[in-house]
Amino acid sequence: MADRRPAPGPRKYIVCNADEGDSGTFADRMLMEGDPFQLIEGMAIAAHAVGAGQGYIYVRSEYPHAIAKLNAAIALAAEHIAPFAIEVRVGAGAYVCGEETSLLNSLEGKRGEVRAKPPLPALQGLFGCPTVVNNVLTLAAIPHILAGRGRALRQPGASTAPRGPCRSSWRATSSTAGYTRPPSGSASTSW
């Protein structure tokens, strides 16, 4: 049985890992530039669930348009998500900072090096406080799941099932880009 006691700490944080470092990937960038409010709402809901007061979005420096869109959206949403606050932090482009503990070190102003575990970030993460670290697509899916579409997201191939904030980001010879989902009746692993 999992321990369900809340993680103790004077402060708690939500950190979004938007350091999309693999070549040819851009699903995070597409979502942050296309609808940053999905991400902000997901982070605010996660913060409410765990009692966090501060959130950080760690974005790679190669995404200036995403950074600008996020900052504008955060300013517009600030009064609606208060007392939770979100800040965009720009990474220096180190590939290793895609790993959660090195990302936390970078946020703290330290060299982006992987930390030994335990302790896990959920117990002693950013600034030694309990921290939830998730990626853009996971956090952006939270509002969709809570809107009652969570069951439909689990049903592969259901023609009316919404797929949440997924976008294609693979590079190949294709005439399809943007929002995609598997054909009706197919398993998601076969496409």
**pLDDT score, position 2:** 45
User: In this structure, are strands 85-91 and 54-60 parallel, antiparallel, or unpaired?
Assistant: parallel
What does the pLDDT average to over 36-65? Answer: 94
Range with the lowest mean pLDDT among 58-67, 94-103, 120-129, 153-162? 153-162
Distance CA 129, CA 121 (A): 8
pLDDT, averaged across the chain: 79
Closest to 51 (Cα-Cα) out of 3, 100, 6: 6
Distance CA 107, CA 8 (A): 21
At residue 24, does pLDDT exceed 90? no
Note whether 164 and 71 are within 8 A (CB): no
Domain map of the chain by residue range?
A: 13-155
Distance CA 43, CA 82 (A): 12
pTM, full prediction: 0.75
Fold of 13-155: Rossmann fold (3.40.50)
Local confidence band at 74 (pLDDT 50, 70, 90 cut-offs): very high
Hey, which bits of 114-176 come out as E strands? Answer: 131-135
At residue 166, does pLDDT exceed 60? no
pLDDT in tens, 26-49: 788 899 999 999 999 999 999 999
Distance CA 14, CA 47 (A): 6
